[in-house]
Structure 1
Amino acid sequence: MDLTTIDNWNTGALDTMADSLGKRVTTVGEVEEALRTAGQLPGWYGGGADSARQLYAVTADDLRDEAAVLGAAHQLAIETSSAVNHLKGRLAALRAQAAGAQMTIRDDGSVTAAATPDPEDDDTREAVRKSLETAAKALIVQEADIDGDAERVFDAIRDGRITANGAGSVDEAMRAGVEQGGLTPLEPPADKSAYEVKAYWDALSPEQQRQLLVDRPELLGNVDGIPSAVRHEANVAQLAPVLKQLQDRRDQLKEQIEFWGLFTNEDAELEQVEKKIKDVEKLQQLISSNRWAPDNPDGRMLLVMDMFSGEQGKAAISLGNPDDAEHVSVTTPGLDTSIRNSFEPMLGESEELRRVAIAQLDGAGRGGEKVATISWLGYEPPDKDSSRPMGVSYLEVIQQDRASAGAPDLADFYRAIDATSTKDDPHIVALGHSYGSLTQGLALQAEGGHPVDDAVFYGSPGFEADDEPELGLEDGHGYVMMGTSDFIDDFGSKGDVGPNGPAPTSTKLEQLDVNGRVTQDGVEREGAYIHSDYPRNGANGELRVSGYLMARLLAGLTPE
């Protein structure tokens, strides 16, 4: 199949078919009612009457089976017409976009671009070309699925597999048929980029999108490329079911431990499950207190909620909708961060960062620009162990296994922000603290590139890079913050080499002064000195210098 199939599909014929089938269902209902009345045969008794009543009953059953078939075919016609009309509209929009960019969409979904005299435009035009091609080919996948669904329903009708399922009336039989007919939305594609997933989502009709969200929210909440509002709704819908799954598993493990005794694999799993139960309960609390909605655009969006892929719970919460924001930050935390113990203060810090960034935009005469701040814990940072010197294991800092495991997911999350944004080129800022800065640095070096514009590394043990080009950033857009009393210096970063590549303070990245002073907005701010200072307010209730500088960068302004 190709794009000419979409052009040639006659939705008018489908609408006529749906109308005719609807009328036929009404007629069948009227005949059934007449049979029911006639079949009562008041005042007639004996063998003949019994035979007549039996015949009426058999005929009524046949009518209900017919109603089920009509219901299935009617629903298929309605949904197919809607889906095809959606594909036609999407294809027309893509062709218009292609024409405006001097490009052509071919029938197989490939896109060719006319030559331009300015080679500096090549990279930008290639990105547009790839985006159009991805979207066009997603339409072909969707049209094939629609055709396959139609074949499935018609085969079931032909083979007598659409039945009334014991319905007691024509109306019930028709509803039974509707459930057996219609389209089945494609599930999100596996192992595809966020841009391909977004193209898949856009190819679905609104009715198919809603059906997936209502019936299969677990398929959408953690998929990069699904719009943020959809991910949020899907994850919120999953909070209670996931909590119930974890509670059931906890009870099962307790029974097993009671029978077999302690110091088993079940005992270790029980500890993890009980922590995840607390994680979900904390998410429920945090989201319910200020849940994002179209009429509450500054609320909290639950963009990641994963309690099953690892030993620790994972989550990401955004303040504001990143899809609608010109400026988006993603903060990756470090050692000993958990949902249950860390997300509440993290959200407080995120709210203050957002507030100051908006204030900076207002001061620059750009008050109409929106800001979203995301706290991302989509990986499993090392746990703190208070029995070790300074409360943290040196080996856990220099070992990169957890950062390496989380970096690809973080890179995909950055791309998802770009893929689902309604802005032409959203300004994306990566913020990484402590071990999280290592994860961030590896993500920025991940294969496939990234859309991040600015990156800040604070309290960092290193990130395996010495300058911006190694991180996929333009010169002057990578920043380092290091407090004078930050214990991370004791891990080697005072010299030229740290535990994870060049010591951050010796790199060619921009070194930001985070000592206390009156900043250019006239506010006296405390400095950031110890490891936990950077995102926090000082005693005067104002962001420290470090937080203020991050807010400036988030607003797309230069630091002082």
Structure 2
Amino acid sequence: MTALALSLSLGGGSGAFGALEIGSSLPTGHQAAGMSALSGSPVITGITDASGPVRQVDIAPITVPEFTHGGDTRLTPVDVALLPSLGGRALLDQFSLLPAAALSTFVQDHPDAISRLLSTPIAAREVSNWWGTMSPAAREKLLTTTPQLIGNLDGLPYGTRDLANRAYLGAAIARLEAKLSTGVGRGMNVEVTNHLHMLTQIDHALKAKAGDPVRTLVSLDTVSPGRAAIVVGDLASADYVSYLIPGMFFTIDGQVDDWANTATTLYQDQASWLARLGEASKTVATVAWIGYQTPHLLNVGSLTLADEGAGYLTSAIEGLQTLRGASQPYVSVMAHSYGSTAALIALQRGDFQVDALAVVGSPGSSAQNVSGLAVRSGNVYVGEAGWDPVVNSAFYGSDPGAASYGAHRMSVAGGVDAITSALLGASYGHNEYFRPGSESMRNLALIGIDEGGLVMDDGGTMIAAERR
């Protein structure tokens, strides 16, 4: 695989390493913004459960004391010294009970407690239930004191997460700028400068162009090489939701802005197709999801990062499906390269289901065929460009492009659109599947709005032309 990886020309740096100091309360401006945003909202009393399995929440062996009065069970704070031994929902409950000053001190002294909560995600339903039990004042306290936690808990409202992540990102940037302004050693200067550049790339990616749909930051890891998920559109109400999963060499520092722009292009293409097909009232949202650490040349032969990515992707989509309750969107996953392997692992595990999956430039699947994936109605599509050295390698398992796999073949070779008569660009090599105006992007847009029958196959005809 090393020789194969060396033959690719993907670009992008790996970012600079350096842990961000966390745990302090947000600046006054951010604090006020968080309070005004939450205090004006009604108390959430819970949301409708989504269908699908619920995983057991991993809680440390210490039991949180409770007392019962008149049939009403209430939580009781434990000694702060015991908090490092708690995990999962038990620790979240204690966070909601602690006074703001005590919580801030604990987070400063035990930053690993937040890291543990986020590295082993709590089931989204559990998070949603926890949030629903709290008063607006308790939510404000958590938002302003632990934004790095609130911004990344799947199952919380996306507006709240965006507010927390933007505030935490702004505070992190300000902290690094202050370090540079006070003067640091040459070695530290390089590290801080690189770290600052990574964070400012996220900040820049959040700035939509005039006329473009709004962008929200629904996950954020500020420690290099970083992780982030930027949404184009409204996940809380969209009829169609598409997750874009990148592959090898994709980094926050090098590609987060480009990936957000790709999500915007897909959003616009999907909206255009809906209007053309007489469904202009339908809405879409796309997610530029760099929610896992992608591999580089030295570790691309391992599936470790794909396994981690599969876990994070599972949590993200379960969070969406939990929040949407009885009003579920049509969910599609569009994954490239190593990201396709991560997505295929997640869908083989079957903890959640999606409505459609498209993989392009895939190096292999852990599932033997489409029937082994949690994708409804067999809506699995595969695209393979000419001169792409990764496709058909089956390096990580079965080849999704093989006839025996059972996926729909979608053309990425370019040509004339059978519906619009527009000239479509061809994709070549490993990195052109998301090029605007390409046949690949045209087909991906249709897959994401449940119009897979209009996708052009390798023979230049629509997969199910009789649908229109």
Say yes or no: TM over 0.5: yes
* Code of the aligned partner of 1:277: L
Aligned to 2:439: 545
Aligned with residue 131 of structure 2, among 179, 201, 209: 201
Q: Say yes or no: does 1:284 pair with 2:203.
A: yes
Q: Is the 8 A contact 1:319 1:372 kept in 2?
A: yes
Please list the CA deviations of residues 157-192 of structure 1 after superposition, one character each: whole Å capped at 9, or x if unmatched.
Answer: xxxxxxxxxxxxxxxxxxxxxx989xx9xx999452
Which whole-Å CA distance do the structure 2 matches of 1:141 and 1:521 have between them?
Answer: 67
Q: Distance in 1 between matches of 2:346 and 2:289?
A: 13
Residue of structure 2 aligned with 1:341, choices 251, 254, 276: 254
Aligned partner (choices 314, 324, 329) of residue 411 of structure 1: 314
d(CA) in 1 for partners of 2:289, 2:319: 13
Residue number in structure 2 paired with 1:486: 388
Letter in 1 for 2:163: E
Partner of 1:449: 351
SS of match in other structure, 1:412:
helix
Task: Report the CA distance shift for 1:203/1:523 in structure 2 as closer, same or farther (over 3 A).
Answer: farther
2:399 corresponds to which letter in structure 1?
Answer: A
Match of 2:408 in 1: 510
Tell me which residue corresponds to 1:386: none
State whether structure 2 residue 148 is matched by structure 1 residue 229: no
2:449: which partner in 1?
555
Q: Any gaps of 5 or more consecutive residues in structure 1?
A: 1-81, 99-123, 132-139, 153-178, 259-266, 384-392, 538-542
The residue that corresponds to 2:240 in the other structure is 327
Query: 1:321: Cα distance to partner?
Result: 1.7
1:118 equivalent in structure 2: none
Q: 1:315 aligns with which of 199, 213, 228?
A: 228
Q: SS of 1:439's equivalent? A: helix
Residue 532 (structure 1) aligns with: 431
Instruction: Measure the CA separation in 2 of the matches of 1:407 and 1:398.
Output: 16
- Tell me, yes or no, if structure 1 residue 522 matches structure 2 residue 421: yes
Post-superposition Cα deviations, 1:504-553, rounded to whole Å, max 9, x if no partner, equal 3212221112221222233221122221111112xxxxx21110111001
CA offsets per residue over residues 189-234 of structure 1, 9 Å max, x none? 9452012111222232344333432443222011111111111110
1:460 and 2:390 aligned? no
Q: Is the 8 A contact 2:369 2:398 kept in 1?
A: no
Give the distance between the partners of 1:510 and 1:397, measured in 2 at CA. 27
Q: 1:553 to 1:147 in 2, by over 3 A?
A: same
Deviation at 1:279, TM superposition (A): 1.4
Residue-by-residue CA offset, 1:373-420 (whole Å, 9 max, x unaligned): 11111111123xxxxxxxxx4x64432222122221111112112122
Question: SS in structure 1 opposite 2:248?
Answer: coil
Tell me the percent identity. 23
Q: Is the 8 A contact 1:228 1:420 kept in 2?
A: no
Matched residue of 1:322: which SS?
coil
Determine the structure 1 residue equivalent to 2:21. none
CA separation of 1:431/1:275 partners in 2, compared to 1, >3 Å: closer, same or farther? farther
Cα 1:508/1:290, change in 2 over 3 Å = same
| C-alpha distance in 1 between matches for 2:72 and 2:229 | 35
Q: Label 1:253 to 1:482 Cα distance change in 2 as closer, same or farther (>3 A).
A: farther
Shift of 1:251: 8.9
1:426-449 deviation per Cα after TM superposition (whole angstroms, max 9, x unaligned): 111111111111121122223x61
For residue 290 of structure 1, report the CA deviation from its aligned partner. Answer: 5.5
Distance 1:272 1:504, change over 3 A: farther
Q: 1:297 to 1:518 in 2, by over 3 A?
A: closer
* Structure 2: tracts of 5 or more residues without a match: 1-38, 56-65, 80-97, 108-113, 456-461, 463-468
Encode CA deviations 1:90-123: one digit per residue, 9 max, x unaligned. Answer: 48xx8xx89xxxxxxxxxxxxxxxxxxxxxxxxx
Q: How does 1:235-384 map to 2 (within 5 A)?
A: 235-246=165-176, 255=185, 273-289=192-208, 298-308=213-223, 311-383=224-296
Distance 1:419 1:524, change over 3 A: same
Structure 1 or 2: more helix by fraction: 1
Question: Following TM superposition, by how much is the alpha carbon of 1:238 offset from its aligned partner in structure 2, in angstroms?
Answer: 0.8
Q: Which residue of 2 aligns with 1:424?
A: 327
Cα separation, 2, equivalents of 1:272 and 1:369? 46
SS at match of 2:244: strand
- Corresponding residue number in structure 2 for 1:192: 122
Give, in whole Å, the separation in 2 of the partners of 1:460 and 1:141: 54
Amino acid at match of 1:548: R
Query: Which amino acid in 2 is paired with 1:341?
Result: G
Which residue number in structure 2 is paired with residue 476 of structure 1?
Answer: 378
Change in Cα spacing, 1:288 to 1:422, as seen in structure 2 (3 Å) is: farther
Amino acid at match of 2:319: A
Cα deviation for residue 480 of structure 1 reads 0.8
**2:362 partner SS:** coil
Partner Cα separation in structure 1 for residue 364 and residue 156 of structure 2: 32
Counterpart position of 2:18: none
Q: 1:470 to 1:180 in 2, by over 3 A?
A: closer
Which position in structure 2 is the counterpart of 1:58? none
Counterpart AA for 1:442: I
Instruction: Write the deviation string for residues 59-117 of structure 1: whole angstroms up to 9, x where unpaired.
Output: xxxxxxxxxxxxxxxxxxxxxxx9xx968xx48xx8xx89xxxxxxxxxxxxxxxxxxx
Q: Is the 8 A contact 2:364 2:400 kept in 1?
A: yes
Aligned residues: 369
* 1:480 partner letter: V
Q: Within 5 A, what are the aligned runs for 1:43-122?
A: 90=45
Code of the residue aligned with 2:247 in structure 1: it is G
Q: Is the 8 A contact 2:353 2:375 kept in 1?
A: no
Aligned-partner Cα distance in 2 for 1:254–1:549: 51
Say which SS state the counterpart of residue 372 (structure 2) adopts.
helix
DSSP-derived class of the 2:413 partner: coil
Q: Contact 2:53 / 2:351 at 8 angstroms: preserved in 1? A: no
1:305 CA drift (Å): 1.3
